A and B are shown apart, each in its own frame.
Chain A
Amino acid sequence: MLTQVAAGRTYDYSHSVGRGAQSGMGFSQPVAAAQGPNGVVYVVNRGSEGISNVSWNRIGYGARVSQITIGPEWGQEEFLGEFSKYGDGNGEFIWGSGVAVDSQGRVYVSDEWLNQINVYDAEGNFLNRWSALESDDGGEHGTANIAIDADDNIYVTDGRSHEVRKFASDGKFIASWGGRGSDNGQFNAPWGITIDQAGNVYVADHRNHRVQKFTADGKWLASIGSPGAGRGQLHLPTAVAVDPQGDVYVADWSDNGQHPGRVHIFDAEGDYIITLIGDAMELSSWAKLTVDANADYLKRRREVNLQNMESEWRFALPTGLMYDAANNRLLVVDSQRSRFQIYNKVSGYMVPQMNL
Chain B
Amino acid sequence: MANQDIALMAHLMRRAGFGATREELEALCEKGYENVVEELLNPTEEPLDRFEMMRYQPWTWRPGTLPGMGAAEWLWWMLNTRRPLEEKMTLFWHHIFATGVSKVDHYDEIQNMITMFREKGMGNYRELLVEIARNPAMIYWLDNNENHADAVNENWGRELLELFSMGVGNYTEVDVRECSRAFTGWTFEAKLPRGPLGRHDWHFEYRPEDHDNGEKTFLGETGNFNGEDIIDIVCQHPATAGFVARHLYNFFVADEAQVPAWQVTPPVDEDAIDALTDAFIDSGYDMKETLRVLFNSDFFKNARFAKLKSPAEVVVGTLKLVGGAEFPAPGIGDLSRQPNYMGQDLLNPPSVEGWHTGAEWINSGSLMRRINFTADMVGDVSRPGVQSIVSRLRSQGDVGPEQFVDTCLDLMGPLDVSADTRQELLDHAVPGGSLTWSNEAAATERVSELLQLIVSLRDYQYA
Contacts and interface: CB of A to CB of B under 8 A. Distances in A.
Interface of A: 19-21, 26, 29, 31, 46-52, 55, 58, 94-95, 112-113, 140, 142, 159, 189, 191, 206, 236, 253, 260, 283, 286-287, 289-291, 294, 296-297, 300-301, 303-305, 307-309, 311-312, 316-317, 319, 335-339
B72 to A, nearest CB: 7
A20 B198 contact: yes
Contacts of A21: 196
A55 B63 CA distance: 19
B193 A55 contact: no
23 contacts: A20-B196, A29-B58, A46-B59, A48-B64, A49-B331, A49-B334, A50-B333, A51-B333, A51-B337, A58-B330, A113-B330, A142-B56, A260-B51, A287-B196, A294-B195, A304-B190, A305-B189, A307-B189, A311-B192, A312-B197, A338-B197, A338-B198, A339-B197
**5 A-B pairs with the lowest CB-CB distances in the bound complex, closest first:** A48-B59, A290-B196, A19-B196, A49-B333, A303-B190
A300 to B, nearest CB: 5
Interface in B327-374: 327, 329-334, 337, 341
Most chain A CB atoms below 10 A, which of B55, B192, B193: B55
Contact of B201 (A112, A311, A336): A311
Contact of B193 (A50, A95, A142, A296): A296
Contacts of A48: 59, 63-64
A308 B190 contact: yes
Given A29-B58, A49-B332, A337-B197, 19 more contacts: A48-B63, A48-B64, A49-B57, A49-B330, A50-B69, A94-B330, A113-B329, A191-B55, A253-B51, A290-B195, A291-B196, A305-B189, A308-B191, A309-B192, A312-B200, A317-B54, A335-B58, A336-B198, A337-B198
A25 B327 CA distance: 33
Interface string B190-223: 1111011110110100000000000000000000
A336 B61 contact: yes
Interface residues of B, number: 36
A49 B59 contact: yes
B69 A46 contact: no
Given A20-B195, A317-B61, A337-B198, A55 B334 contact: yes
Contacts of A339: 197
Most chain B CB atoms below 10 A, which of A21, A48, A55, A253: A48
Interface of B: 51, 54-59, 61-64, 67-69, 72, 189-193, 195-198, 200-201, 203, 327, 329-334, 337, 341
Given A336-B62, A337-B198, A58 B192 contact: no
Contacts of B196: 19-21, 26, 283, 286-287, 289-291, 338
B204 to A, nearest CB: 12
A336 B58 contact: yes
Nearest to A19: B196
Contact of A19 (B67, B197, B331): B197
Contact of A49 (B62, B69, B190, B200): B69
Given A49-B57, A55-B337, A336-B58, A20 B197 contact: yes
Contacts of B190: 300, 303-305, 308
A21 B196 CA distance: 8
Contacts of A50: 67, 69, 333
Contacts of A316: 61, 198
B406 to A, nearest CB: 35
A301 B193 contact: yes
Contacts of B58: 29, 31, 46, 317, 319, 335-336
